[in-house]
Amino acid sequence: MSSTNQTAFQIITLPKGQLPMTGIPAPPGNNRTVINTTNIQATPQNQSRQGWSTGLFGCLSDISVYCLTCFCPCVAFGRIAEIIDRGATSCGTSGAIYVGICHFLCCVWIYTMCYRTKMRKQYNLPQSPCPDCCAHCLCHKHALCQEYRELENRGFDLSIGWQANIEKMNAVMMVAPGVPGGMPR
């Protein structure tokens, strides 16, 4: 890129969930820095991480998630499902299905267990401390809390939905090119 009409670009990829900071100095020379955060859709944040970021019974580590899961599990599940489905189903749709199954069939744990399994496969998480069916059948709200916290720890804000998370994480920041040695006349 030695031509005077071309501009050199330097691509910096931030970890998923980390937004660019303001005040990043422009590199020396006639370069532009583009911060690229598009990696959210392709892979989990940290492939090398083994296991869940929090335990199944760590509900009290985040009181707001604990209260949401205890008093409005349909909302908590709807938010989880929207992120796991990558926006294919909305929070409202998943929450309404949750309520319907809960009130008419009384076996909502089967429905939510399927999403736990899907989440484990997406993020290479182990079935621990017990199989998915046991986690949701015996400790349903604890399992929802753990899934909610796991997604938050991976950089998602579940309250804003899939599309807003993608827009937030795909933010591209351009820094003005540096001027070497001032402005010549």
Mean of pLDDT values over 137-144: 92
Mean of pLDDT values over 104-109: 89
Does one domain contain both 88 and 4?
no
CB-side neighbour CA atoms (13 Å) of 91: 16
Does one domain contain both 128 and 183?
no
Domain around 20:
1-37+170-185
Directed axis angle between helix 140-153 and helix 63-71, to 10°?
140
* Mean pLDDT of all residues belonging to the chain: 77
Q: Which residue reads 């335990």 in tokens?
A: 55
The reply to whether 8 falls in a domain is yes
The reply to whether 50 falls in a domain is no
The reply to whether 6 falls in a domain is yes
Directed axis angle between helix 73-84 and helix 63-71, to 10°?
110
* 177 band by pLDDT with thresholds 50, 70 and 90: low
Structural domain count, the chain: 2
Does one domain contain both 157 and 174?
no
* 170 band by pLDDT with thresholds 50, 70 and 90: confident
Mean of pLDDT values over 10-25: 51
Does one domain contain both 140 and 176?
no
- pTM for the structure as a whole: 0.67
pLDDT at residue 140 tops 80: yes
The reply to whether 95 falls in a domain is yes
pLDDT at residue 24 tops 50: no
